[in-house]
Structure 1
Amino acid sequence: MTALIRSQDLTIHRPGTSEPVLSHVDFRIQPGEIVTVVGPNGSGKSSLIRALLGHVPLARGRVDRRAGLRIGYVPQRVQLDTAIPMTVRRFLSLPRRVPDDQAQAALARTGVPGLGARQLTQLSGGQFQRVLLARALLSDPHLLVLDEPTQGLDQPGIVAFYRLIEDVRRQTGAAVLMVSHDLLVVMRSSDRVICLNGHVCCEGTPQHVSTAPEYRALFGAGAEGTLALYRHDHDHHHDLAGPEADHLHGPGCTHGHSPTAH
C-alpha cells in the first residue's frame, strides 16, 4: 500500500438514521502530497476527516491506513477554559510530557520560537494556530490533518499560514490533508483538490477543479476567477532552481509562481 490513507465506497449516515452524510467516497493521499477538501457548508468535509481518522462508524465501505502511520491533527475548534491558566509550554505537553528541546524545536519550526512561557489566552488567532500546528508536529507525523486551520484569521494571516504549511511539507516530507473554505489560496497551496457535496463532485489539480462545471455549480460562476487570482502571465525571469522552483511553478501557472511569492 503506497497511499497513507485510502477509502473505498466510504458511506456515513447521520446518527440513528439512514440519511447519508457522505456516499460512495473513494479517497487516497500519497506520501508528501498536499490535498485540500473544499465544499459548501454541510457538504460532509469534516465528516470525511473524522471517518478517515476512525472517529465515526461507516455505514458501508472501508478505510485502510498504512501500517505504523503517524498522524498529526489540528482540529477545527479548541475550547479553552479561560479560568485555568495554561502556558504554551504546558499545552504542548498534554497529554504526554514533551522534552524542552522538542517543544522549542516545534515552536521554532512553526515560526513562534519565543512563545513557550506565554499564556494561551494571550495569543492572537494566528499565534494560536501556529501553536496547534507545533503540537501536531511533535509526533513527527507522516500525515498532517488540518480541519479549517485558518478559521478566524484575516487574509494576510491566511496566506502566511498556508506558506508555513508549504514550508513544513518541504522540511519534513509530511503529507498534508486540509479542509478549507479559503478558495483564494487553494491554487497556491494544493497538489490536488477534492470538491465534496455529500459525494465527490470532482477532483484533480486545482486548475482542473476550478474549471469543472460541478465546482462552478457549487460556488458560482465567479469561482473560477477566485482561484485564478493565483495565476498570472509575465515575461521576466526567475532565478530559481531545484525542487522548490518546481513546487512554486504550480498547476495553471503559465510561467512562474503565485503573485504572493513576489
Structure 2
Amino acid sequence: MSDPLVRLQNVSVQFDTRPVVERVNLTVHRGDIITIIGPNGAGKTTLIKAVLGLQSVTSGQVSLARNLVVGYVPQHLTLEATLPLSVRRFMLLSGQPRSRCEAALEKTGVGHLLHASVHHLSGGEKQRLLLARALARQPDLLVLDEPAQGVDINGQASLYNLIRQLRDELNCGVIMISHDLHLVMAATDKVICLNQHICCSGFPEDISHDPAFIETFGRPVAESLAVYHHRHNHRHDLHGNVVHGDTRGRDGEHQGCDHAHH
C-alpha cells in the first residue's frame, strides 16, 4: 500500500480547558472514502480543520504527504447578495487556469451554467459548483463538510455517486462529514463515528450493529440502517436518474446502490 495522504496520531484539541477532540487516530490513503459521522458538538468540523491546518492541535501529531494538494468543499456558499458574480468568475477567483476551471465544471455536471449568476443556482447546483472549484486544484485529497447540505433527496444520491466517480477517476482520498446516514452508508468505504473520541469505526454494513453506534444514534436509527442494506443492479447518473447496467467496482466486485425507503 502507498504511503498515507494523511495520518493523525493521538490528536486532541481543547478550547480553553474543554476537550473537543480526544486522542483521535486516522489514516487516509489514495482511493479511500472515509465519512465522519456524529451528533452535533461531536468535534467533526474541528477535526477536519486540524487536517486542513486551520486548527492547531493541543496534543498528538498531524502528518501530511509531501506536496499534498487538498481540495476543500465547505458546508455553505456565503456571498454578498448585491455582488454580481457569474459561475465563470467565481471559478476564476480560485486562481486556477480557465481551461481547468471549465473542465471541472463539466466533470461535476454544471458546465452549462458557466454564465449563470451564482446567486440564482439551486442548492444542488451550488454544491456541484463548490466541488468543481475544489477539483480545479487537481487535489490528492478531497475534504467535504456536509456536501449534500440543502440538496433534495434525489440530488443527494446523485451527488454522493458523483463523489465516488471522482474518487475513481482522480485516485484521490476523500474525507467527508455527513449527517445523511442512509446515503452515506451507500457512498463510503469506511465510517468513523465521532463523539469527541472515536466511538466506533468500520465498514458501513458492520457499523450499525456496533453497541457504541447504537448508543450514540439510538436503536431505531441503527435498526433502520441494518434493514436498509440490500443491493440493486443499478446506479444513478449525474441528475439522479436510475441507470441500469454494469455496476462493477474498481476491483471487479459487484457494487450495488443502496436506497432509503420512505
Structure 1 position 234, deviation (Å): 8.3
Work out the percentage of aligned pairs sharing the same amino acid.
Answer: 40
Q: Deviations over 1:133-153 (max 9, x none)?
A: 000001110110000111111
* Unpaired stretches in structure 1, ≥5 consecutive residues: 250-256
Find the aligned partners of 1:149 and 1:127 in 2 and give their Cα distance: 11
**Matched residue type, 2:105:** L
Q: SS of the residue aligned with 2:111?
A: coil
**Matched residue type, 1:35:** I
Structure 1 position 217, deviation (Å): 0.7
Q: SS of the residue aligned with 2:142?
A: strand
Query: Residues 239 and 123 from structure 1, CA distance in 2 versus in 1: closer, same or farther, beyond 3 angstroms?
Result: closer
Partner of 1:126: 124
**Within the alignment, does 1:8 sit opposite 2:9 as a pair?**
yes
Q: Deviations over 1:103-137 (max 9, x none)?
A: 22111100111111011001000001000000000
Partner of 1:35: 34
Structure 1 position 57, deviation (Å): 1.2
Find the aligned partners of 1:101 and 1:206 in 2 and give their Cα distance: 38
| Kept in 2: contact 1:184–1:229 (CA 8 A) | no
Find the aligned partners of 2:36 and 2:122 in 1 and give their Cα distance: 26
Q: SS of the residue aligned with 1:243?
A: coil
Q: SS of the residue aligned with 2:17?
A: coil
Partner of 2:224: 226
**Matched residue type, 1:112:** V
Structure 1 position 77, deviation (Å): 2.2
Runs of 4+ in 1 over 6 A off after TM superposition: none
Partner of 1:254: none
Find the aligned partners of 1:110 and 1:239 in 2 and give their Cα distance: 21
| Kept in 2: contact 1:11–1:25 (CA 8 A) | yes
Find the aligned partners of 1:222 and 1:241 in 2 and give their Cα distance: 30
Structure 1 position 158, deviation (Å): 1.0
Structure 1 position 227, deviation (Å): 2.5
Which of 153, 156, 159 is the aligned partner of 2:154? 156
Alignment of 1:204-243 (within 5 A): 204-228=202-226, 230-232=228-230, 240=246, 243=249
Partner of 1:258: 257
Please, which moves more after superposition, 38-47 or 203-212? 203-212
| Kept in 2: contact 1:70–1:141 (CA 8 A) | yes
| Kept in 2: contact 1:145–1:178 (CA 8 A) | yes
**Within the alignment, does 1:108 sit opposite 2:114 as a pair?**
no
**Matched residue type, 1:7:** L
The RMSD of aligned alpha carbons is 2.0
Q: SS of the residue aligned with 1:202?
A: strand
TM-score by length of structure 1 reads 0.89
Find the aligned partners of 1:245 and 1:127 in 2 and give their Cα distance: 31
* Count, aligned residues: 248
Structure 1 position 226, deviation (Å): 3.2
* Unpaired stretches in structure 2, ≥5 consecutive residues: 234-243
| Kept in 2: contact 1:230–1:258 (CA 8 A) | no
| Kept in 2: contact 1:187–1:230 (CA 8 A) | no
Find the aligned partners of 1:34 and 1:121 in 2 and give their Cα distance: 31
Structure 1 position 210, deviation (Å): 1.3
Query: Residues 198 and 247 from structure 1, CA distance in 2 versus in 1: closer, same or farther, beyond 3 angstroms?
Result: farther
Query: Residues 19 and 84 from structure 1, CA distance in 2 versus in 1: closer, same or farther, beyond 3 angstroms?
Result: same
TM-score by length of structure 2 reads 0.89
Partner of 1:186: 184
